[in-house]
Amino acid sequence: MDSITQSLLGAVVAQAGFRRTLGRKAMVAGALLGVVPDLDVVAGLAGPYANWLYHRGITHSIFFGPVVGPLFGWALWRFSRWRAMRRGGTGMLAGPEELRAWIWLSILVLFTHPIIDVFTSYGTQLLAPFSRHRFAIDALPIIDPIYSLVLVAALVVGTFARRRPGTAVVSAAAALLFIYSWTLMGWAINENIRAEARQQLKTAGQPVQNILAYPQLFQPWFRRVVAETPDSIMVGYYSIVAGGTIDWTTHPVRQDPLIDKVAATWEAGVFRWFAMDKLWWRVVENAEGAAVEAFDYRYGMMGSTELGFWGIRAQVDRDGQLLGAPERFQQPRSASRSDFSEYWRRIWG
């Protein structure tokens, strides 16, 4: 999920489990800890491929919270006592109960961050550093306003219920129950749409190797569907609300020695791993020879970005020799009013 939502989730987890013990400061700590794993984006400064390599890596492992959480908990405990001293406290450190509360708060918030991220398509290295496997469940978009607003509502209750910690805890628990159900609903929708797409293609006599369905922005009901066939990638869209027949756009899978040459580079290997092997290749002839491009087809939208928002590109000369290492590129995304109108029309029918 986006970092703002992760911060909100951290605050709500802290409110549900530690408001009675630590007061409202637990919510602030939870909000700050909720974004700690996403600080791995600074690795992107190390090079053009560093963000693909390291984002959602070790800081998103299920081991990160249990290992690092106690250190954060101890630091928060000491900071809390220092503030109490500055405000006229006795200066004595609190007992083991408060320390345990801060440690468990830190562990739980850091642990829930990667668990929630798994329910998006990006890929999360849950078992790092012991495995580089990327786990992904295509249940939710990275930005989901309903998901976020439910968390905001719980935090508003928790903020204003100053002398009613029970009310704050109940509101947070209700919000967590809602997002748990919302996430499972998104997962179920995805599986239903995959089954519907498979049935439609089977009825049409189209052989299919695999069907994938990817969430689209802001809502869970409308999905971009990708069918992998022996010789093509087919892309369509389906709304669980509107129903209907999927209109497919077919993109042939091209076999070319130039593609093989670029695919053998280190950069293409990184991209293939990052995209979880969901790459579509093309060769575009130009004045210098040809540009060989690969797209990550997990993420895309209707229009010019149907096959992906980002990819890699390498230039080869007329003799088929690489003129340099593959470079990353971003596809410009259309954001016109007519495009958004069509988007919402396709959701509701």
pLDDT digit string (tens) for 134-187? 999 999 999 999 999 999 999 999 999 888 889 999 999 999 999 999 999 999
Q: Give 303's pLDDT tier (boundaries 50, 70, 90).
A: confident
- Is 89 a residue whose pLDDT tops 80? no
What does the pLDDT average to over 191-212? Answer: 95
The whole-number average pLDDT for the span 301-309 is 87
Tokens of 134: 């990327």
What is the C-alpha to C-alpha distance for residues 192 and 211, in angstroms, rounded to an integer?
A: 11
pLDDT for res 93: 47
Q: What does the alpha-carbon distance between residue 294 and residue 253 come to, in Å, rounded to a whole number?
A: 11
Domain limits, the chain: 3-137, 254-330
Burial 180-200 (b: 16+ CB within 10 A, else e): eebbeebbebbeebbebbbeb
Per-residue pLDDT at 92: 45
Instruction: Give the mean pLDDT of 247-256.
Output: 94
Q: How high does pLDDT run on average in the chain?
A: 93
Report helix, strand or coil for 337.
Answer: helix
The pLDDT value given to residue 90: 52
Tell me which residue of 84, 109, 48 sits closest to 325, measured CA to CA.
Answer: 48
- Beta-strand pair 310-317/289-296: antiparallel
Task: State how far the Cα of 132 lies from the Cα of 54, in Å rounded to an integer.
Answer: 10
pLDDT the model gives residue 261: 94
**CB neighbours of residue 270 within 10 Å:** 18
Count of all residues that appear for the chain in the document: 349
pLDDT at 335: 67
Supply the pLDDT for residue 43. 86
Q: List, in sequence order, the alpha helices (H) in the chain.
A: 3-22, 25-34, 50-54, 64-86, 96-117, 145-160, 165-203, 257-263, 266-274, 337-348
Dihedral pair phi/psi, residue 324, rounded to 5°: 165, 170
pLDDT band of residue 344 (cuts 50, 70, 90) is confident
As beta bridge partners, residue 329 has 311
- Residue 73, phi then psi, degrees to nearest 5: -60, -45
Three-point CA angle 321, 310, 5, nearest 5°: 155
Q: For the chain, give the percent of residues with pLDDT over 90.
A: 82
In tens, the pLDDT along 19-67 reads 999 999 999 999 999 999 999 999 888 889 999 999 999 999 999 999 9
pLDDT at 91 over 50: no
- For residue range 256-300, what is the model confidence (pLDDT) as tens digits? 999 999 999 999 999 999 999 999 999 999 988 999 999 999 999
Interval 291-311 mean pLDDT: 92
Residue 180 per-residue DSSP state: H
Spatial CB neighbours of 282, under 8 Å, sequence gap ≥ 6? 254, 292, 293, 295
337, pLDDT greater than 50: yes
The pLDDT assigned to 83 comes to 80
